[in-house]
Chain A
Amino acid sequence: MKILIIEDETELALDIAKYLSSENYLCEIASTYQKATDKITGYQYDCILLDLMLPGGDGIRLLELLKRENKQDGVIIISAKNSLEDKIKGLQTGADDYLAKPFHHSELSARIHSVIRRKQFNNSNVIEQNEITIDLPGKTVSIKNKPVNLTKKEFDLLLFFIGNKNRVISKGALAEHLSGDIADMFDNHDFVYAHIKNLKKKLSEAGCGNYLKTIYGTGYKWES
């Protein structure tokens, strides 16, 4: 799977590429508007990460370019501006998602995962992971064809872990994923532990292997 990272902050772009590379993603980086235009017109990507403030031009115009060329690449805007107008404008011009900086790599990775699945599988979007089957549009989970009843938050967590396989995710990143900006306002994220405990329990009761590991002192990891 090919990802294009359009980001002028090289350090950040390299980090994203490094984080994503373990997931069989092939990452390319474009640091200016011109370079981005060349790459977009020349190649096809599964997902494009787009910073709106670029040297040489406005990122929104790249979205318009994609639309004109009738390209089907998934686009996630990553912006430091975090303004509602930009978000609405971006989504209206054809972006699939919007993520405000600073973000956790795990959040970005989960969103990329989700965008690619939506683009490629549309309505028959079913993830098969080990013995788990996740029906995305129906929001249901089954193990060995037996349905497992998960709460919305447990379902979100499961998807998040599967979008970040084999990587350590901090409790803070999980809290932020579950409650968005509000997570910022609290130092105590113990509720994450409660949700994970429930998720683990439900999965193992349904006969699922123990893939979700607690990494002492740092967070959690889905190993498979």
Chain B
Amino acid sequence: MSKLLNKPFKAFTIYALVILACSIPVYYFVVNSIWMEELDEHNLIIKQRIENKLGNIQLDEKELNETLLLWNTLQPGSRLTPISQPKERDSVYTFTRQNEYISDEVDRFRGLSSSIKVNGKFYHLAIETNVEEADETVVAIALVTLLFVVLLVAGFIFLNRKISKRIWQPFQNTLHKLKSFDLTEGKPIRFEQTDIEEFEELNQSLHKLIDKNISVYSQQKTFLENASHELQTPLAVLKSKTDLLLQNKHLTAEQSEILNAIELPLSRISRVNKNLLLLAKIDNSQFAETENLDVSTVLTQSTELLADYIQDKNQNLSHEVKQPLTLACNKLLLEILLNNLLINAIRHTPKNSTIIIQLKDNMLQIQNTGTEALNKEKLFKRFAVSSSETASSGLGLSIVKEICHRYQWQINYTFENYLHSFSVIF
């Protein structure tokens, strides 16, 4: 993943690189042409000066020949040689020559080949001027270009950072608020005003979306609580009727069995209903009062309460407290959390097996034997685990999760060495 601004930045940088790279030969061509033109002009001026000066000084034939000999020996840039016919036209040329004094240096020259007339005689004049070598020019241009490329890219990076920090600030603000948003808290988000149209539009849309979600969520919570409440009374009446029917002296064995069979699903409905109500209440942030509780004390109470059921299945309970732990939380919620985890372990552990409870380093771990791992995704969801055969309400672990969420405790499930292991990190 890359940042949004880095995408055009990359393209801009590549484009700049290509253009600057292309400019190197162009620069070379332009610089070279200017050089050549200037040198041609320079050579021409020298030619005119030589022609003029040689014409002005009055030398006889002999003197002239001696002077030319001396000239051709000492003067490095030009040479005069007698010719019979003047050149029809001047010509220019470029050539390279091994440096006579430095062995590995090759010099480039621009030459002018022309003819002048001195004392009525024609002479061939060759003027050669040293020019910068082509490769040196290219290297110099490339170095300068590279310097500019570096400056350009550095500038891009600097500007990009500065701009992205500033112009993305409203977006970052919005993102930060969205990240810390928790639907279950039911508090709407207030986005900061921004003068960038797109962000303002985004904020407005998010605002609408969140408001709607909060409203739907709270309606659902209220509905759940109301529905559970409404179910309590008919359930109470049903339970009351079965109790009364049980007192009937003329009940036959068959009728008793039917009555018994009614009691089981009835208690299951009332359990589901109670748990739904409990969930709704936890969702609605009830159970606000907190006190400092010693976890191992509450744990001991829970195991004592469940002792009958543990004994019933002849299960072995190992209970180890390595470090005492005190928590500030609601007593009822902590009891429910521990009870639900323990009930879960007792219910799903076969007879004659072991349940291990460990409390250490801010962590409570409850382990029980099992044959295969449970679906971690579904485990804590409401009614997600099929429960047709067990007495489960399908809500026990959801309640555990909800309580952990309330106090920001961490609940984990792992399956290792044929042990289901639920751990709560406080």
Contact = CB atoms under 8 A, between A and B. Distances in A.
A76 to B, nearest CB: 15
A170 B242 CA distance: 10
A18 B287 CA distance: 37
Interface string B361-397: 0000000000000000000000000000011110010
A191 B347 CA distance: 14
Interface in A82-108: 82-84, 101-106
B274 A82 contact: yes
Given A82-B277, A101-B233, A190-B312, A184 B243 contact: no
B216 interface: no
Interface in A175-224: 178-182, 184-188, 190-191, 194-195, 215-219
Interface string B232-251: 11011111110110110001
B315 interface: no
Given A83-B281, A185-B343, A216 B237 contact: no
A19 B393 contact: no
Nearest to A178: B308
A12 B235 CA distance: 10
B286 interface: yes
A168 B247 contact: yes
B150 interface: no
B263 A170 contact: yes
A196 B144 CA distance: 102
A187 B238 CA distance: 19
A171 B129 CA distance: 122
Interface in A150-174: 153, 167-168, 170, 172-173
B184 interface: no
B264 interface: yes
A9 interface: yes
A172 B243 contact: no
Interface string A1-43: 0000000010110011011001000000000000000000000
Contacts of B343: 182, 185-186
Contacts of A184: 267, 270-271, 274, 393
B347 A185 contact: yes
B31 interface: no
B244 A172 contact: no
Interface residues of A, number: 44
Contact of B237 (A12, A185, A191): A12
Contacts of B270: 102, 184
Interface stretch (B60-68, B133-141, B254-262): B254-262
B239 A103 contact: yes
Nearest to B246: A168
A26 to B, nearest CB: 18
B298 to A, nearest CB: 14
A181 B335 CA distance: 12
A12 B391 contact: no
B264 A80 contact: no
B310 to A, nearest CB: 9
Of B229, B239, B240, B305, chain A has the most CB atoms within 10 Å of the CB of B240
Q: Which residue among B247, B256, B287 has the maximum number of chain A CB atoms within 10 Å of its CB?
A: B247
Contacts of B260: 170, 217-218
Contacts of A22: 247
A186 B309 contact: yes
A173 B243 contact: yes
B240 A182 contact: no
Contact of B251 (A83, A180, A218): A218
Interface in B385-413: 390-393, 396
B332 interface: yes
A80 B271 contact: no
A180 B305 contact: yes
B114 interface: no
Contacts of A105: 240, 243-244
Nearest to A216: B253
A190 B351 CA distance: 14
Interface in B55-78: none
Interface string B207-230: 000000000000000000000010
Contact of B239 (A9, A104, A178, A217): A104
A102 B233 CA distance: 7
16 contacts: A15-B240, A19-B240, A19-B244, A80-B233, A82-B277, A83-B286, A101-B236, A104-B243, A172-B263, A179-B309, A185-B391, A191-B309, A195-B308, A216-B253, A218-B251, A218-B260
Interface of B: 229, 232-233, 235-241, 243-244, 246-247, 251, 253, 256-257, 259-260, 263-264, 267-268, 270-271, 274, 277, 281, 286-287, 305-306, 308-309, 311-312, 332, 339, 343, 347, 390-393, 396
What are the nearest 8 A-B pairs in CB distance?
A102-B236, A187-B391, A191-B308, A80-B232, A217-B256, A15-B240, A101-B236, A184-B271
Given A12-B237, A217-B260, A218-B246, 6 more contacts: A12-B236, A18-B244, A101-B233, A170-B263, A187-B390, A217-B257
